[in-house]
A = this chain, B = another copy of it.
């Protein structure tokens, strides 16, 4: 899971955002779905038909916009736009909810002059309430005039998708493909579980690479497994989680396939974009004061390492200990031991940053002051080495704090 080789394959673009790749405009505005005056409706639009791919929540309860977006991308693997509202998830809203999601799609398609099946729809916010469609309609009418390829317009979009997130999340990288510069950018929102009732994760990736829909989907799926699927704030999965990618092809490269010499570089860039967005969601988890990274190695397989990393990052006891800057390796080893994966109880090493706390499953003396200092930092890396094989995985999460409880206990009362 090392980053060394990957980072060499691409460069981060300072102040890059979803409008940096050629062909994309974005925008956002306040139409009245949020009680505050913050933006609550946004869109990304591509000036040409973009090849598209999506990955969706595995929750049995899937909100109406998930179905509509599946249908749009399923129709031909092509999108011209994605429209997103915050403030209302349009979930558990019955037939009216379905109708509203379809109307968002057809309404915005008409407003920008494209076919309805070329528009994806995403929603995040309160569940169980129908959308105030009069406000959505007036927002849709105004939105085309806000679209631009500027950094400011991209910022408006990034703001429009947030719920209780504290900060917007965006990243852009450039990769060289056939000697040409290709951009891959993304925006996301996460862990705002107060108002939406749960942690809806939305992610949007734009690129000007030429790549087919199926190839894009396969890379998006792989990147998601190693990034968005490896973060946890509290283990809950929303009815609205969605990640959509659009590729305009305007960079002019030869179409990317698995045989293309720059396939790996593009894949690395896409994965990096997803990783930055995923880590930003984890760091901005409700009430979080720090990012926690768990690196597992020496497992019998990558799958085993993944399961162990996710069990450790999801342990409330580990999360509380990190909040309290407590070098509590006992909670870490207990989580390792209950992950349901092969573990040799005699050969486990645990490090917090560079501080070794357990070697060959036995506690060893460590400098408590140094450990406290390390754990007080804004990023804590827990290393677990099982010494059994070459399986490795990394997971990300955050600490469990008073504010998490305050935010989630106080929501409606």
Contacts of A239 in B (CB 8 A): 334, 337
Shortest A14–chain B CB gap in Å is 36
Q: Interface residues of A, CB < 8 Å — how many?
A: 62
Shortest A60–chain B CB gap in Å is 4
Flag if B316 contacts A236 (CB, 8 Å).
Answer: yes
Residue-wise, chain A 150-181 has the 8 Å CB interface mask toward B (1 for contact) of 00000000000000000000000000000000
Asked if A58 is at the interface (CB within 8 A of a chain B CB), the reply is yes
Of the 9-residue stretches A1-9, A182-190, A213-221, A319-327, which lies at the interface with chain B? A319-327
Shortest A228–chain B CB gap in Å is 15
Shortest A36–chain B CB gap in Å is 21
Asked if A362 is at the interface (CB within 8 A of a chain B CB), the reply is yes
Flag if B408 contacts A334 (CB, 8 Å).
Answer: no
Asked if A59 is at the interface (CB within 8 A of a chain B CB), the reply is yes
In whole angstroms, how far apart are the Cα atoms of A335 and B60 in the complex?
10
The interface centre, meaning the residue of A338, A358, A372 with most chain B CB atoms within 10 A of its CB, is A338
Tell me if A's interface is mostly helix, strand, loop or mixed.
Answer: loop
Flag if B413 contacts A334 (CB, 8 Å).
Answer: no
Flag if A330 contacts B128 (CB, 8 Å).
Answer: yes
Flag if A316 contacts B413 (CB, 8 Å).
Answer: no
In whole angstroms, how far apart are the Cα atoms of A334 and B234 in the complex?
13
Asked if A102 is at the interface (CB within 8 A of a chain B CB), the reply is no
CB contact under 8 A between A405 and B401, given known A59-B337, A92-B363, A343-B60:
yes
Shortest A27–chain B CB gap in Å is 30
CB nearest to A399 among chain B residues: B409
Shortest A320–chain B CB gap in Å is 3
In whole angstroms, how far apart are the Cα atoms of A320 and B241 in the complex?
22
Flag if A405 contacts B413 (CB, 8 Å).
Answer: no
The interface centre, meaning the residue of A334, A361, A400 with most chain B CB atoms within 10 A of its CB, is A334
Asked if A333 is at the interface (CB within 8 A of a chain B CB), the reply is yes
The interface centre, meaning the residue of A198, A331, A404 with most chain B CB atoms within 10 A of its CB, is A198
Flag if A128 contacts B363 (CB, 8 Å).
Answer: yes
Top 5 nearest A-B pairs by Cβ distance? A324-B409, A320-B408, A197-B330, A60-B337, A128-B363
> What would 21 A/B residue contacts be, using CB atoms closer than 8 Å?
A60-B343, A61-B337, A61-B343, A92-B361, A92-B362, A92-B363, A94-B362, A127-B330, A129-B363, A234-B316, A236-B334, A237-B334, A238-B334, A239-B337, A323-B405, A326-B409, A326-B410, A326-B411, A326-B412, A372-B413, A404-B405
Q: A317-B408, A405-B405 are in contact. List 6 more A-B contacts (CB 8 A).
A: A59-B338, A198-B330, A198-B334, A237-B338, A316-B408, A321-B411
